[in-house]
Amino acid sequence: MDQITVFAPASVANVSCGFDALGFCLETVGDVFHIKKTDEKGIQFKEIIGQELPLDPKKNVAGVAAQALLNQYPANCGFEITLTKGIKPGSGIGSSSASAVGIVYALNELMGLGLSKRDLLPFALEGEMLASQAAHADNIAPALLGGFTLVRSLDPMDIASIPSPPELYAAVIHPHIELKTAEARKVLSKTVAFKDSIQQSANLGALVSGLYSADYNLISRSLEDLLVEPKRAPLIPHFGEIKQAALDAGALGAGISGSGPSVFALTQGKETAQKTANAMAHVMQATSIPFDAFVSAINSQGTLTMNVDEIL
Amino acid sequence: MDQITVFAPASVANVSCGFDALGFCLETVGDVFHIKKTDEKGIQFKEIIGQELPLDPKKNVAGVAAQALLNQYPANCGFEITLTKGIKPGSGIGSSSASAVGIVYALNELMGLGLSKRDLLPFALEGEMLASQAAHADNIAPALLGGFTLVRSLDPMDIASIPSPPELYAAVIHPHIELKTAEARKVLSKTVAFKDSIQQSANLGALVSGLYSADYNLISRSLEDLLVEPKRAPLIPHFGEIKQAALDAGALGAGISGSGPSVFALTQGKETAQKTANAMAHVMQATSIPFDAFVSAINSQGTLTMNVDEIL
């Protein structure tokens, strides 16, 4: 194999009650890597399409993740990379994570290293750290592994894959405002009420139970965030209205995707997801803020090799 | 039906990372109610065997729970109750909960009310409140329903039943010291570090995942309590040594049962549970504190009607 095309999907982290731990993988929206082996060693970004990002591999997430892998597994060739960014950086649906996981997945395939997806996570994490200045795997784990994932621990890395019920869909709206992860971290309290902490835990435990047992009502009741959403909601214009519109449209729950500004909703069924996306879009249409909105099934596959025939 | 004999089992609440939410049901150890219908209306405790508890129904947990049920469903007869307390009050394995659930289960059967076990929980909760001065259902839910239960919310009551893997066993040691629930609540902090709160949540989410997926290693890694055990451990003499002995004997994890002083361990397999119980007992034997220790499978049935032939 001397070249490969890889799709690395967007993802939703935190999922209301699962701050820094829970995440799920989206379909369709994501980054596409096309990577060719070259005689000259090293990583070279030929082009980044769709977004203005530095081509210097030391300064972009994919380059740092790739270098982390190559430091441990030196290659006897180089790599020429074309990255088509389908995810806008800073949108809150795991843009940096997709770039980090896509490239390490591709290099593992191209070099025939035979590493498992789980083996690749630490290298992707190094790339992710460049973007968010904090190590967290709640986007890289679902983007790479697919489905829902729960990061119990980063060191040592301990990640549980959690099944998702067949009828679960997501609706996502991305208001085009800038909201830096670091800024969104600043508003969080250093301490929280014991009582709220216990309720948040119970919600996460119950959400995991609801996902395993395909109990959509339990999922709905558990999608409640006492600790983070109250702090971050003011950073996202019209968040309250967007969330209410989603719930009124029949969503099981809605909240901030990652550190925002995207807002996600989970629904039972694709039709309700579409109705929910429309309702959230309707709120944004009444503002002057540009946005995009989409609907997605839970992507159970995560990062994958694309059939090149398909894209030629 | 004019009389009934009911077994209401002991239970372990909190389970390290699931404070006030998670609990599981034990086998063999529990309270036995024998209740006869009488012509004279009202509740009358004929005898409480095994423990010195007030016969006045207003002053014991079972009486209060029974009255809560009878207030909503008046009976056209009375009830004469013989309660054999197999659980020592204040031991930390749900003594008051067993008494509360046993009597409401029995009255529902005797009166032919046809209520489900879940319907009975609110009445049992009223009894439990007499004992602990705080409403929490993390013992009454598993004692009544069996298995593992997660109390997401009390009002409205929202309780998830969580499956337990077939090889999961518990070892329990009860040091005979007095440790009041109210006292054990006093040592808890009103606030906790955000970081610890997030880790505790992740542990509970992962523990629920481990129980569903029968992943004993994940269960083991998740049995970690950052918020409560550090505060309460000093109240239980030799707790650290008992816990370490359990882990050294191969237990998946160990912690304080409810608000203590009992200490529980979870194991994979009955043999390891016995070894763990022996190891914990060995620590206590070196002290002057009397204790008892036992091993139990996870009781999936909860409170049940005993075949009277068996006990005659």
* Residue type, position A303, single letter: T
Q: Which of A158, A162, A194 sits opposite B191 (nearest CB)?
A: A194
Active-site residue among A5, A27, A149, A181?
A181
The reply to whether residue A208 touches residue B209, judged by beta carbons under 8 angstroms, is yes
Domain ranges across chain B: 3-163+299-311, 168-297
Query: What are the chain A neighbours of B18 within 8 Å (beta carbons)?
Result: 201-202, 205
The reply to whether residue A205 touches residue B19, judged by beta carbons under 8 angstroms, is no
- Tokens read off for B179: 């440790």
Give the best residue of B149, B190, B198, B231 to mutate against chain A (max A CB count within 10 A).
Answer: B198
Distance CA B229, CA B280 (A): 17
What is the model's pLDDT at position A73? Answer: 97
What is the model's pLDDT at position A293? Answer: 97
Active-site residue among B5, B149, B181, B276?
B181
Active-site residue among A27, A126, A128, A224?
A128
Q: Which residues pair with residue B149 across a beta bridge?
A: B23, B161
* DSSP 8-state code for residue B60: S
Query: What are the chain A neighbours of B210 within 8 Å (beta carbons)?
Result: 160
The reply to whether residue B189 touches residue A189, judged by beta carbons under 8 angstroms, is no
What is the model's pLDDT at position A308? Answer: 67
Give the best residue of B22, B154, B209, B220 to mutate against chain A (max A CB count within 10 A).
Answer: B209
A179: pLDDT strictly greater than 90: no
In chain B, which residue's Cα lies nearest the Cα of A151? B202
The reply to whether residue B205 touches residue A202, judged by beta carbons under 8 angstroms, is no
Q: How far is A225 from chain B (nearest CA, A)?
A: 12
Judged by average pLDDT, the poorest of A47-56, A76-85, A175-184 is: A175-184
User: Are A283 and A242 contacting, i.e. CB atoms less than 8 angstroms apart?
Assistant: yes
The reply to whether residue B21 touches residue A201, judged by beta carbons under 8 angstroms, is yes
The reply to whether residue A204 touches residue B201, judged by beta carbons under 8 angstroms, is yes
Q: What is the Cα B137 distance to its own chain's centre? A: 9
User: Could you tell me if residue B209 is left (phi over 0), alpha (psi between -120 and 50 degrees) or otherwise beta?
Assistant: alpha
B276 is catalytic: no
Q: Which of B22, B188, B190 sits opposite A205 (nearest CB)?
A: B22
Q: How far is A97 from chain B (nearest CA, A)?
A: 20
Distance CA A68, CA A82 (A): 19
Distance CA A73, CA B227 (A): 41
Q: Which residues pair with residue A294 across a beta bridge?
A: A172
CA dihedral B197, B199, B205, B211 (to 10 degrees): -120
Query: What are the chain B neighbours of A187 within 8 Å (beta carbons)?
Result: none
User: Are A109 and A305 contacting, i.e. CB atoms less than 8 angstroms apart?
Assistant: yes
Q: In Å, how far are A11, A242, A297, B181 from A245, measured between CA atoms? A: 22, 5, 20, 44
DSSP string for B112-167: T----HHHHHHHHHHHHHHHHSS---TTHHHHHH-SEEEEEEETTEEEEEE---TT
What integer best gives the mean pLDDT of chain A?
A: 95
* Residue type, position B39, single letter: D
Task: State which fold the A3-162+299-311 domain adopts.
Answer: Ribosomal Protein S5; domain 2 (3.30.230)
pLDDT tens sequence across A90-112: 999 999 999 999 999 999 999 99
A188 Cβ neighbours under 8 A, 6+ residues apart: A227, A228, A231, A232, B194
Q: What is the Cα B294 distance to its own chain's centre? A: 15
In chain A, which residue's Cα lies nearest the Cα of B217? A158
B52 is catalytic: no
User: Are B302 and B148 contacting, i.e. CB atoms less than 8 angstroms apart?
Assistant: no
Q: Which of B19, B189, B218 sits opposite A160 (nearest CB)?
A: B218
The reply to whether residue A190 touches residue B193, judged by beta carbons under 8 angstroms, is yes
Per-residue pLDDT of chain B (312 residues; tens, 9 = 90+): 899 999 999 999 999 999 999 999 999 899 999 999 999 999 999 999 999 899 999 999 999 999 999 999 999 999 999 999 999 999 999 999 999 999 999 999 999 999 999 999 999 999 988 877 777 899 999 999 999 999 999 989 999 999 999 999 999 999 999 887 778 889 999 999 999 999 999 999 999 999 999 999 999 999 999 999 999 999 999 999 999 999 999 999 999 999 999 999 999 999 999 999 999 999 999 999 999 999 999 999 999 999 765 554
ipTM over the 0.85 cut-off = yes
Distance CA B193, CA A255 (A): 23
The reply to whether residue B227 touches residue A197, judged by beta carbons under 8 angstroms, is yes
Give the best residue of A24, A152, A229 to mutate against chain B (max B CB count within 10 A).
Answer: A152
* DSSP 8-state code for residue A249: T
Q: How far is A168 from chain B (nearest CA, A)?
A: 18
In chain A, which residue's Cα lies nearest the Cα of B201? A201
Rounded to the nearest 5 degrees, what angle is found at the Cα of B245, between the Cα atoms of B239 and B251?
105
User: Are A14 and A255 contacting, i.e. CB atoms less than 8 angstroms apart?
Assistant: yes
CA atoms within 13 A on the CB side of B247: 13
Query: What are the chain B neighbours of A162 within 8 Å (beta carbons)?
Result: 209
Where do the H-state alpha helices sit in chain B? 61-72, 95-110, 117-132, 140-145, 181-186, 194-213, 216-222, 229-232, 239-248, 270-285, 308-311
The reply to whether residue B194 touches residue A194, judged by beta carbons under 8 angstroms, is no
The reply to whether residue B210 touches residue A160, judged by beta carbons under 8 angstroms, is yes
- Tokens read off for B70: 């009878």
Q: Which of B152, B198, B208 sits opposite A21 (nearest CB)?
A: B198
Reported as a pLDDT band with limits 50, 70 and 90, residue A312 is: very low
Query: What are the chain B neighbours of A213 within 8 Å (beta carbons)?
Result: 160, 212
B123 Cβ neighbours under 8 A, 6+ residues apart: B65, B66, B68, B69, B72, B100, B104
Q: How many residues does chain B have?
A: 312
Of B106, B68, B64, B67, residue with least CA distance to B84? B106
DSSP string for A95-160: HHHHHHHHHHHHHHHHHT----HHHHHHHHHHHHHHHHSS---TTHHHHHH-SEEEEEEETTEEEE
B26 Cβ neighbours under 8 A, 6+ residues apart: B9, B10, B11, B12, B93, B170, B172, B296, B298, B299
Considering Cα of A275, then A277, then A280, then A281, what sign does the dihedral take?
A: negative
pLDDT tens sequence across A248-281: 999 999 999 999 999 999 999 999 999 999 999 9
Distance CA B162, CA B152 (A): 12
A281 Cβ neighbours under 8 A, 6+ residues apart: A173, A291, A293
Of A82, A108, A115, residue with least CA distance to A5? A82
The CATH label, of 3.30.230.10, 3.40.50.1370, 3.90.950.20, 3.30.2310.20, for the domain at B3-163+299-311 is 3.30.230.10
Distance CA A299, CA B127 (A): 47
Give the best residue of A164, A198, A226 to mutate against chain B (max B CB count within 10 A).
Answer: A198
A82: pLDDT strictly greater than 80: yes
Of B299, B249, B307, residue with least CA distance to B146? B299
Q: B94-126 burial, b for 16+ CB within 10 Å, e for fewer?
A: bbbbbbbbbbbbbbbbbbeeebebeebbbbbbb
What is the model's pLDDT at position B310? Answer: 54
Task: State which fold the A168-297 domain adopts.
Answer: Alpha-Beta Plaits (3.30.70)
What is the model's pLDDT at position A290? Answer: 97
User: Are A219 and A55 contacting, i.e. CB atoms less than 8 angstroms apart?
Assistant: no
What is the model's pLDDT at position B309? Answer: 57
